[in-house]
Chains A and B, each alone.
Chain A
């Protein structure tokens, strides 16, 4: 783009007329300076006008505004799980059994691909809240219903390319690189959480 702005002086052959003049060839001419200045100016201008277009593709204000979702935990019995929508994505809220919590806590961190203790992933036991989005390529893993396949570690199983997650939502086998993400959330009462 930029170099088309000074077409008449872009060939080195033209430089002879100026370069061989009063200034030495090493010194650079006034025209070189003008070329450089005009070129950089144009490059900055192009950059400045491209950014609004690129940024217009990022989430708009109304999309960002859909930020939080409240979930009532009271109806979720032990061993059950619910899926809620948050920012267009499923969030898994699981009321884990004592055994599931114990399994999650008993795993030595050294065995994990993405080492994280269960206590760092939950706000309050036994509740586990994670994004229901496989960290491989974004499918929704199975395991929310008792009849679903839950994989070899009792948590979730992603059918798309076979990732297994444990009862803390941590990746244990398969192509996914990281644990199921824990969204930002807080307890607003003993039986209520707000996600986001």
Chain B
């Protein structure tokens, strides 16, 4: 080894020359080539890679939209219509971006659900999990501001209602809202800054994704059994095993994505957003985009303004402390006979909230939202802490290899191993 040069194992002279001076190839080889990965991943483990691809799709389509978009209240709506009608393939780029936001939330929600079902948030992956929650929050902010850009009725009134949430903060609330607006209502200064931030935040997300992956590569991946790999017999090199498995998922993902874009591009949207923004008339029934509905339902379930706002933000903030609310040492719900069902119920309950969020604020939806909100929080604050004390988990398999190489499930041999004691 020449002094000061990295000891590269690549033989291609060009690659080797670069790698000796800046070992990015060695790093990629280590982190994505030979990286030891549990051998028992199921398809839920595709969704991280899918989210990464989705982010790249959003940035690529967004940059091309920005070339034709005008961030001014009197021009924004028309500039988007021009993208749709006159710009070559503008319709395609916009529909990919628009539906890409929905695909992003589908993918990330499944990814988060996977983490909750298989206990990926537990030690030692707490920080990894919390970085994920940060990404989720940034995505929500980005999507919210993007939805304002076309300056339709839903853009305008969505922006009005959401920015007004901050007016619930005691004392400084109104000043904060004026600061967000840059005026006395949602108007041109608001649109301009939202465009600026909408362009910026995806790159911030990319930065946090980098940290998320960096943290992942310290702890290694969790897996459907929720037990740590104990040696080489439990893992496979990431490439080619999981590059191939991810590719299968990516193809399915693009099929679903293409179906939305080409056959029902407006299915997940709202027709009122094709009406230009009118600050004097609120649409009779305003609803946020589908991915905000569960949280919107929580907001409306509380009959007090500040309370509703706190509960809504709290419903996401609580995910930050999930690793400390669930003290059960068993990660995977496969081995938690009670938690498993109560978590599946939580999942159904999430969809109930989503449904109620899209309905008018009337009975019976108000009462249903209240009960669902109670269960949403109850699961985290009561059920999980309690189960850590009283639930008796099923016996864990001795190792990943033992469990998966001799035909699935816990082995008889492993079953006699100590049943997990309570924490």
Contact = CB atoms under 8 A, between A and B. Distances in A.
Contacts of B361: 160-162
Given A85-B279, A89-B185, A58 B179 contact: yes
Interface in A121-157: 132-133, 136-140
B347 interface: no
Interface string A24-58: 00000000000000000000000000000010011
Contacts of A89: 184-185, 279
B280 A140 contact: yes
Contacts of A54: 179
Interface residues of B, number: 34
Interface in B263-319: 279-282, 284-286, 300, 303-306, 308
B284 to A, nearest CB: 5
Given A136-B305, A137-B164, A139-B286, A88 B182 contact: no
Contacts of A57: 179-180, 182, 189, 193
Contacts, number: 82
A40 to B, nearest CB: 25
Nearest to B185: A88
Contacts of B304: 175, 177
A112 to B, nearest CB: 17
Given A90-B279, A137-B160, A138-B164, A58 B185 contact: no
Contacts of A175: 300, 303-305, 308
Nearest to A177: B305
Nearest to A54: B179
- The SS class assigned to the A binding surface is loop
B279 A59 contact: no
A90 B180 CA distance: 19
A97 interface: no
B178 interface: yes
Interface string A59-93: 11001000000000000000000010101111000
A154 to B, nearest CB: 20
A10 to B, nearest CB: 23
Contacts of A87: 183-185
Contacts of A195: none
A27 to B, nearest CB: 39
Given A63-B182, A63-B183, A88-B184, A137 B300 contact: no
A63 B282 contact: no
B398 interface: no
A88 B305 CA distance: 24
Given A137-B161, A138-B163, 6 more contacts: A59-B184, A63-B183, A90-B280, A136-B164, A138-B167, A139-B160
7 contacts: A88-B186, A137-B161, A137-B167, A138-B161, A140-B281, A159-B282, A175-B300
